[in-house]
Structure 1
Amino acid sequence: MGLRERLAGRRVFMTGVTGFVGEALLERLLSDFPDTRIVALVRPRGGQDGAARLRRQLRKPAFAALRERLGEGAADTLAARVEVVDGDLASMPDLPADIDLVIHCAGEVSFDPPVDEGFATNLGGVQELLRAARAGGSSPHILHVSTAYVAGLRSGHIAEGRLAHDVDWAAEQAAAGRARQGAEDASRTPEQSAAFLAEAQAKHLRAGAQSVSRDAEDRRRQWVRDRLVRAGAERAQVLGWTDCYTFTKALTERYLEDSHGDLPLTILRPSIIESALARPFPGWIEGFKMAEPLILAYGRGEFPDFPASPDAVVDIIPVDLVVNAILAAAAQTPPAAEPAYYTVCSGFRNPLLFRELYEHVHEYFVAHPLPKWGRGPIAVPEWPFAGARAAEAKLRNGERVASVAGKVLEHVPRSEKVRRWASEFDRFEARVGFLRRYSDIYRAYTKAELVYVDDATKALHDALDDTDQADFGFDPACYDWKYYLQDVHFPAVTAILRKPRDPSPPRRAAANLPANADALAVFDLDGTLVSSTVIESYLWLRLADEAPAGRARELAGLAAALPRYLRAERTDRGHLIRSVYARYKGADPEELARIIDEVAGDILLRRVKPAAIRRVRAHREAGHRTVLLTGSVDFLVRPLAPLFDEVVASRLTVGPDGRFTGKLAASPLVGDARAAFLDHYAGRVGADLSASWAYGDSQSDIPMLRAVGNPVAVNPDLSLFRTAKANGWAIEEWPSTPGEPRAVVPSLRERSLFHVARAAAAATVSAGAPRAARGLTGAGSDAARSTTGGAR
């Protein structure tokens, strides 16, 4: 009988149907085995149960030809043929008692998982599978999809069959489970905690204590993960395997050999699985596998060399040949006492040398270069195959360049050009990191100069009748490498990089703001709304009516304090605000009010960015409640009050002598305090933060931006710029007002106008008329804020 007849009536339990091999296998069973009954284990995820996820799976390109063949209602027809069992490898329900065959395709496929996760998924998943099968009362044929690389760090020809090693799978599994607790304990020592805190403070101190704590804990978790990844890789190589993936796969095989008992067992070992030769269609691939990242990096001109022997065999096999071999092995049930082993590979019967692979890749990209949008085609390098030492030297040099450039960028003043440099540097750093990761992962593979022998697999293929060999063949000699690589595989994996790109800038806030009376629009002041700093604002007021000698003394004193202010700006913005405003000690509030009204206010208004004014007005037209949230003092921002429904600012206390004390009435709202204030404020006015907007320009604004559903980074510093890019926040460039005053000292004309205005005011006062000074309502004691109702 043919394969269709031998599998007819069988009830097949499958794992991994949402994975690469499992999806291709499911498509083949649904297309060509109408009398085979399928039960699939599918993990609920993202609010969807297993059945919903399967229906989504059946709408993917792999099933397009099948849907077209079935016509209207195809999705329902296909879904009806698959019985879905909700569960995963960690916990699955007992298998039905009438299961005839289990095809286990699921598992951890990352080369470098944390050691406990690798064991839990690969070995623990198979243990749970055998438990579920026996608990349900079935005695199925177990077909386990492993990998050819369980052979480990060996050389020469590798035959099919039981692996030759005496590693105790139970002891290694137990040690891997303990490794997690050990890493967690080590990460919480005082020394390690101090290191995490210091690193977080160096990056996020301006954002506030909560942001620092969150980042320190993230660093601790990443440290634990990295330690467990290293533990898996090092333990694997000590025992003779390339990495944690092959190590756990090999011990999973040993567990099955020791524990399958009276259940027939087949272990199928594919080599490097790549895109389809023919089914479901040529070039079909889901995600990037082992070779694709390297192929694409070479095509982008980012891979100058690779530490591999040019005459080593690269064992690649198309996914549909693997699926066909699974079907043939599934139809051939071995005796329970004699497990069957099949290696599905190409290196023995259709070898591809690494040098030949490079030549195919190079030839393809020379003929079909990837586009560098706006800069023409990308030129690809010629590999000298200089060896591992030379490749490592080039990589280390790139890492040194990245380290130096990163430190320089952190101290360059912000600008749009600097942000472009930062984007280019981030891409360069990511490329270097990519090369380091793949160099470390593949180094062991390039040292293993071996050839997998597939005698049993060839015999399985030869036993098929002519029709099945034509429909379900898996002979690796059936295709030519140039055709498969250059006509099928490379076009498929590079297609995404050849699609025309949208040349638009980073995501911006919506042009047409949705109407919503429950939304807030919260704006920072310095650097966001206006092109100024706290220090500049102070100088506008302090120097407006000073004689040259007084200005010189003030500027000299400020220059002496400037290094301290700059340090405060980089570490504690609240301290900076307190330090600068302490210089107002002894100032007359009424005199400052007049200066604001007559001179300095005009300077402030001329430094407001036109785009900011337009955005504030757009929010008001949409019915949003506009809020100015700033650490600046209330009397300074008074000219902007008509733009906003509420102004939240700092306030200086006044002493018994009627003059400012230089002390704030409450702590300034900076960093984390802004997020806490917004949460309280939204509850007080009935606003919906998830529908609200916030605009900021610096790292200290990050907590405020995280608090709303629509954060916008305006002319951001590098820290905020990178955070915004990482989180998909809108990034906007708001240019300064053309011709705005750049000097902090008022011009001669501005001072003259001021003197005229002051003389007129003095004359009015002496005549008994009230002074024309504007006032601000006071702030509550629990927050430094000033409220001014602006008419909509």
Structure 2
Amino acid sequence: MRDLLAGKVVVLTGVTGFIGEQILWKMLTELPDTTPALLVRRKGSTPARDRVVALLKKKIFSELREAAGGAEALLDARIRVIEGDLPNVPDLPADLDVVLHCAGDVSFDPPIDQAFRTNTIGTRALMEKMLAAVTGPDGERTRIPHYVHISTAYTAGRRRGAIREAAHEHDVDPQAETERGLAMLELIEAQSRTAEQLTRLRKEAEREHRQAGYLTTAADTERRRREWVQRKLVEAGTERARSLGWTDVYTFTKALGEKVVAEVGKDIRVSIVRPAIVESSWKHPYPGWIEGFKMAEPLILAYGKGQLPEFPASPDSVVDIVPCDFVVNAIVAVCATEPEVGQPVYYHSSSGARNPLNFRDLYSHVREYFLQHPFEGGPRGAARLPEWDFPGAASVERLLFTSERAASVAHRAISLAPRSKRIRTLAQGLDRTTKELTFLRRYLSLYNEYGQSELHFVDDNTLALHRSLHPDDVEAFAFDSAAYDWRTYLQDVHCPSITEPVRRMDSVRRRRGQRPRTYKELGGEPDGARVLAAFDLDGTVMASNVVETYLWARLPELGPLARAREVGDVARRLPMWLRAERRDRGTFLRSVYRRYAGADLAQLEQFVDTTMASWILERVSPDAVRRLREHRAAGHTTVLITGAIRPLTRPLEPLFDVVVASDLATDDSGRCTGFLTGPPMVGESRAAWLRHYAALNDIDLSRSHAYADSHVDLPMLSVVGNPVVVSPDVALMRAANAQQWSIVEWRASAQLPRWSLPRRR
């Protein structure tokens, strides 16, 4: 092999991918006289060369790097870097001998336009640049290159039986399908912007985010529109592929890519390698080497965590797994061949022909591994491993559908339940279940047909190539898929390799416990007044709400009969107020504050100062007070920002540098009119106030803190660098989990029951 490829320049795409990375390692390790020229795209502001240097700093290249004196020295000595991308391919070197195309969209469900750009347009562009590189000014070829194309065995589509190492017979026109596939982007984008579609998406966003404000709702509407476009592009690709006989748009566009290769490469040497399911290495660079999660890993890990109750596979169907190093060795060996010009040669890199593994055996090996090496569980111990009966795809679909319906009903129930720690716990459990169901739906949809495949990949060409290896090459370049047994590979090599990083991360999480992510320790030296800490009042600093505080202020001055009437009238209006709060918290607050009409503002303030102050302070959370004092000690500006009326905040003024509250409007005699002097400070107005205050006072919001309990406070929390969610409602809890914000439980003072009233002195 070393002699056959000596002096050759091999242009390699996809080097930052799983297979491409090991191909580069193999060339640098075993082919000292071969020059890899890497086509690598710039990523943001990072040039291609820097990306290759970062690649060479990985563990796989450690010995090569040390021998060369560093990553950059290794690059300079052995590698050429060509900065470019697919399909925008730059000029390729004129002295190229082999073009090895490993790049490609390997997701099974990419958007249809993306799949065509990568797998057909990109392939054509690369080959045309290759031909241009070896064509002189007179139009004559200076050399005949060897183009090696890495495809997939599943380009066979929904066929059954033996699949030969040959071109697949079909009459689909790659150019026409590519043009129409790209046109789907414009069509679906236009559909997403129709009034009907935008109305539906906006109403969905409003149901979830109406309280937080119009801008939050608008941002979520646009997010939903973009996600809808992506989802429809994926659906379009899947359905078009299946309508023509392929399982998904990935295998469909890879099959069309093969047809492009045969068309463009009719006057050169062409080889097409079709790997099956590529997993971790058997031997090189070390047993179990793998980069990222491939096809089987998510399913194996989910099973080990008890999250995969069944799988819609036929127990006797072959799951055609092949170790990565066998694929890489076969590809390098193909690069060393010289096929006839205009006669493409196909190779299947697979295991099913001579070392078959069916789904029942795969399940048995994986189950045995996790029984012996379970994931460490939480308080309840290791996860219970499901026992698969392989009931068939229809039964699994019914089970999944029923579970999804039950979860949907539970979500609606929780959304209507009153806030409590128990409801939050139930919601967290339901969210985990929903995440698992979403995972199952996605992967069962993707792999359903693969799990029932009846394909048999013939590998005669590949076996013959393996048998032609020079004896000196067998140790380094062998790729006979009959050389290993599945129990050893799965239980001693593959499963330990893919579970090790998961176990390590789980261990780190357990050591850290539930350490907050945005709840910062404030000990040490003060860090200056350029930082503020904003606190919501009701539900955050103290356990209260505006209806309760109104009754606390109103009822003590009434006799028993008048109290009963007042409580009854408030209870009668409560459902209307709750509906108003779900629509707009500002409207809700205005409705409640109308009941202050006729109250003497000065007397209300005196009553708060003389009677309610100690009673209010008794209800302030000790955890909130402790945190406020920490912020003060750190030199931070403390801000109370609330929709409550200002008289009720008077006892709290010593704790804060700034108090932003609702002011009751009064007439000439000092009596409340039932209106406010301005809009209540809720939702997005809090975020706007913080931005304005920060600009006027040179406050760094990226270093600042905010504490709140309600989804309506999402804009305020989003504007600071250290948002903390306090005993939240379910909607805010979910937003905090999605954005990795800290969630803390601040206990309320328990010295007075909530139904007790202050007594007038």
**Corresponding residue of 2:114:** 117
Give the aligned partner of residue 512 of structure 1: 522
1:606–1:78 Cα change, 3 Å:
same
**Alpha-carbon deviation of 1:745?**
2.6
Q: Which moved more, 1:400-409 or 1:135-144?
A: 135-144
Q: Please report how far the alpha carbon of residue 506 of structure 1 lies from its aligned counterpart in structure 2 after TM superposition.
A: 5.1
Q: How does 1:348-497 map to 2 (within 5 A)?
A: 348-497=353-502
The one-character-per-residue Cα deviations of 1:246-291 (angstroms, maximum 9, x if unpaired) are: 0010001111111124332211100000000011110111111111
Matched, 1:63 2:70: no
Change over 3 Å in CA distance of 1:80–1:533 after alignment to 2:
farther
**2: distance between equivalents of 1:423 and 1:27?**
45
1:331 to 336, 339, 356: 336
User: Is residue 685 from structure 1 mapped to residue 683 from structure 2 by the alignment?
Assistant: no
Task: From 239, 255, 258, give the equivalent of 1:250.
Answer: 255
Counterpart position of 1:777 = none
Query: Which whole-Å CA distance do the structure 2 matches of 1:414 and 1:51 have between them?
Result: 54
- Give the letter aligned to residue 624 of structure 1: H
1:141 counterpart (119, 142, 146) = 146
- 2:6 corresponding residue in structure 1: 8
What residue in structure 2 maps to residue 704 of structure 1? 716
List, as ranges, runs of 4+ consecutive aligned residues in structure 1 with deviation greater than 6 Å.
Answer: none
Mean Cα displacement is larger for which, 490-499 or 525-534?
490-499
Residues 271 and 343, structure 1, Cα contact 8 Å, conserved in 2: yes
| CA–CA distance in structure 1, aligned partners of residues 8 and 500 of structure 2 | 39
2:516 maps to a residue whose letter is R
In the TM superposition, residue 75 of structure 1 has moved relative to its aligned partner by: 5.7
**Residue matched to 1:105:** 102
Q: Aligned partner of 2:536: which letter? A: D
Contact 1:10 1:36 in 2 (8 A): yes
Match of 1:300 in 2: 305
How far residue 740 of structure 1 moved from its aligned partner, in angstroms, is 3.8
Q: Does 1:159 align with 2:168?
A: no
Checking the alignment, whether the CA contact within 8 Å between 1:544 and 1:600 is kept in structure 2 is no
Aligned-partner SS, 1:663: strand
Identify which range, 495-504 or 624-633, moves more after superposition: 495-504
Contact in 2 for aligned 1:712/1:729 (Cα 8 Å): yes
C-alpha displacement at 1:65, in angstroms?
4.3
* CA distance, structure 1, for counterparts of residue 490 and residue 403 of structure 2: 30
Letter in 1 for 2:546: V
Alpha-carbon distance, 1:447 to partner: 3.4
Q: CA deviation at 1:702?
A: 0.5
Q: Which moved more, 1:240-249 or 1:593-602?
A: 593-602
Shift of 1:133: 2.4
Q: CA deviation at 1:115?
A: 0.6
- Give the counterpart letter for 1:33 in structure 2: L
Conserved in 2, the CA contact under 8 Å of 1:269 and 1:343? yes
Q: Deviations over 1:582-628 (max 9, x none)?
A: 11111101110111101222222111111111111211222222111
Q: Secondary structure at the match of 2:322?
A: strand
More displaced 10-residue stretch of structure 1: 603-612 or 451-460: 603-612
Please name the residue that 1:23 is paired with: 21
Corresponding residue number in structure 2 for 1:639: 651
Q: What secondary structure, in the 3-state scheme, does the structure 1 residue paired with 2:557 have?
A: coil
Aligned to 2:139: none
Q: Which amino acid aligns with 1:675?
A: A
RMSD, aligned CA: 1.7
Corresponding letter in the other structure for 2:700? D
Letter in 1 for 2:694: A
d(CA) in 2 for partners of 1:741 and 1:724?
30
C-alpha distance in 1 between matches for 2:725 and 2:592:
26
1:735 corresponds to: 747
Shift of 1:654: 1.1
Offset, 1:46? 5.1
Deviates more, 1:78-87 or 1:487-496: 78-87
- CA change 1:82–1:420 in 2 (3 A) is farther
Say whether the 8 Å CA contact 2:53–2:71 is kept in structure 1: no
Question: 2:547 maps to which residue?
Answer: 535
CA distance, structure 2, for counterparts of residue 190 and residue 403 of structure 1: 27
Contact 2:665/2:675 (CA < 8 Å) preserved in 1?
Answer: yes
Map Cα deviations across residues 627-676 of structure 1 (whole Å, 9 max, x no partner). 11111111211111121121111111111232111111111121112222
> Contact 2:266–2:343 at 8 Å: present in 1 too?
no
Larger deviation: 316-325 or 383-392?
383-392
Residue identity matched to 1:446: G
Candidates 14, 33, 36, aligned match of 1:35: 33
> Per-residue deviation at 1:72?
5.2
Query: What is residue 138 of structure 2 aligned with on the other side?
Result: none
For residues 197-254 of structure 1, what are the alpha-carbon distances to aligned partners after superposition, in whole Å with 9 as ceiling and x for unaligned?
A: 1111111111111111111111111111111111111110110001011001000111
* Contact 2:619-2:750 within 8 A present in 1 as well: no
Q: Provide the C-alpha distance between the structure 2 equivalents of 1:563 and 1:506, rounded to a whole number of angstroms.
A: 39
**Structure 2 gaps, min length 5:** 136-143
2:338 corresponds to which letter in structure 1? T
What SS does structure 2 have at the residue aligned with 1:532?
A: coil
> Structure 1 CA distance, aligned partners of 2:50 and 2:63?
21
For the 8 Å contact 1:11–1:98, the answer to whether it is kept is: yes
1:75-86 → structure 2 map (5 Å cutoff)? 76-78=73-75, 80-86=77-83
1:93 maps to what in 2? 90
- Per-residue Cα deviation, 1:512-564 (whole angstroms, up to 9, x for no partner): 26713211211111111111111111111111322212211211111111011
CA distance in 1, matches of 2:626, 2:580: 33
> Equivalent of 2:225, from 217, 220, 225?
220
SS in 1 for 2:37: strand
Does residue 560 (structure 1) correspond to residue 572 (structure 2)? The answer is yes
Q: 1:673 to 1:132 in 2, by over 3 A?
A: farther
Q: Is 1:608 aligned with 2:620?
A: yes
Which range is displaced more, 564-573 or 195-204? 564-573
CA contact 2:87–2:117 (8 Å) conserved in 1: yes
**Contact 1:603–1:741 (CA<8 Å) still a contact in 2?**
no
- The 2-side partners of 1:566 and 1:744 are apart by 23
Amino acid in the other structure paired with 1:569: E
Q: Which moved more, 1:537-546 or 1:321-330?
A: 537-546
Aligned residues of 2:663 and 2:678 also touching (Cα < 8 A):
yes
Deviations 1:683-741 (A, max 9, x none): 11121111211111111111111111111111111111111111111211111123244
Mean alpha-carbon deviation: is it higher for 315-324 or for 37-46?
A: 37-46
Distance (Å, rounded) in 1 between the aligned partners of 2:575 and 2:384: 48
CA distance, structure 2, for counterparts of residue 8 and residue 740 of structure 1? 86
Picking from 605, 608, 621, the partner of 1:596 is: 608
Q: Would you say 1:268 and 2:280 are equivalent positions? A: no
What is the CA-CA distance between 1:97 and the residue it aligns to?
1.5
Kept in 1, the 8 Å contact 2:640–2:659? The answer is yes
- In 1, distance between residues paired with 2:355 and 2:294? 21
C-alpha separation between the residues in 1 aligned to 2:22 and 2:471?
23
Distance 2:571 2:549 in 1: 15
Q: Percent identity?
A: 49
| Residue aligned with 1:410, SS | helix
Partner of 2:141: none
Per the alignment, in what secondary structure is the counterpart of residue 268 of structure 1? Answer: strand
**Counterpart secondary structure, 1:262:** coil
Q: Which amino acid aligns with 1:713?
A: V
Partner of 1:766: none
Residue deviations 1:12-53 (CA, integer Å, cap 9, x gap)? 211111111011111111112222112212222254222222
SS at match of 1:302: coil
